[in-house]
């Protein structure tokens, strides 16, 4: 659920007609509230350069900003019928923020990280997956000075991790 005071995030923008059809322009939303299920609310904002044409939302460039998070994204979403599409995501994330507001794995993830992945949309189902690389991390309270790996989360299968490289407890390894 995304919203702000009265259920709608602050927004502004301008879309104009294009000679080839559709609309193009820039829109901004936020600050507003992102709420994933029973997780605590997270204040977010986004700026989007977009083209809308024939039922396709083409995000040509955008940024999502939240607590210790700054993600650039782009991609396409088909709006007609069942919304479907993919957005490419790249930027900095804070794993403690994601743990608290999205993953809720109970593993106490923490750390400053770079994310390179995608968000897939299929109707009301969302799936986020990609590569994470970071420092100053922690899991279950154990310090992890450096970490890298692949993460996937879809809200039903839980958080899936693979190819996890870590430095911890005076050594390093791959899980």
Q: Give the pLDDT confidence of 86-103 residue by residue, as tens digits.
A: 999 999 999 999 889 887
What is the pLDDT, as a whole number, of residue 7?
Answer: 54
Beta bridge pairs of residue 87: 75, 119
What are the φ/ψ torsions at residue 156 (nearest 5 degrees)?
-115, -40
Question: Is the pLDDT assigned to residue 3 strictly greater than 60?
Answer: no
Q: Give Cα 105 to chain centroid, integer Å.
A: 17
What is the pLDDT, as a whole number, of residue 123?
Answer: 93
Question: Is the pLDDT assigned to residue 5 strictly greater than 70?
Answer: no
Within 13 Å and on the Cβ side, how many CA atoms surround 62?
A: 24
């Amino acid at each position: 659920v995304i919203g702000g005071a009265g259920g709608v995030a602050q927004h502004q923008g301008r879309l104009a007609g294009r000679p080839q059809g559709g609309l193009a322009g820039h829109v901004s939303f936020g600050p507003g509230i992102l709420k994933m299920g029973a997780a605590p609310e997270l204040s977010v904002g986004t700026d989007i350069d977009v083209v809308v044409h024939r039922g396709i939302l083409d995000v040509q460039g955008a940024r999502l900003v939240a607590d210790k998070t700054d993600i650039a994204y782009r991609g396409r979403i088909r709006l007609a019928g069942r919304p479907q599409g993919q957005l490419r995501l790249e930027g900095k994330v804070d794993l403690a923020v994601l743990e608290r507001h999205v993953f809720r794995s109970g593993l106490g993830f923490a750390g400053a990280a770079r994310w390179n992945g995608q968000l897939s949309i299929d109707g009301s189902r969302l799936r986020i997956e990609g590569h994470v690389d970071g420092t100053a991390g922690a899991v279950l309270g154990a310090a992890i000075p450096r970490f890298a790996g692949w993460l996937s989360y879809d809200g039903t299968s839980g958080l899936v991790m693979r190819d996890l490289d870590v430095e911890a407890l005076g050594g390093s390894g791959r899980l």
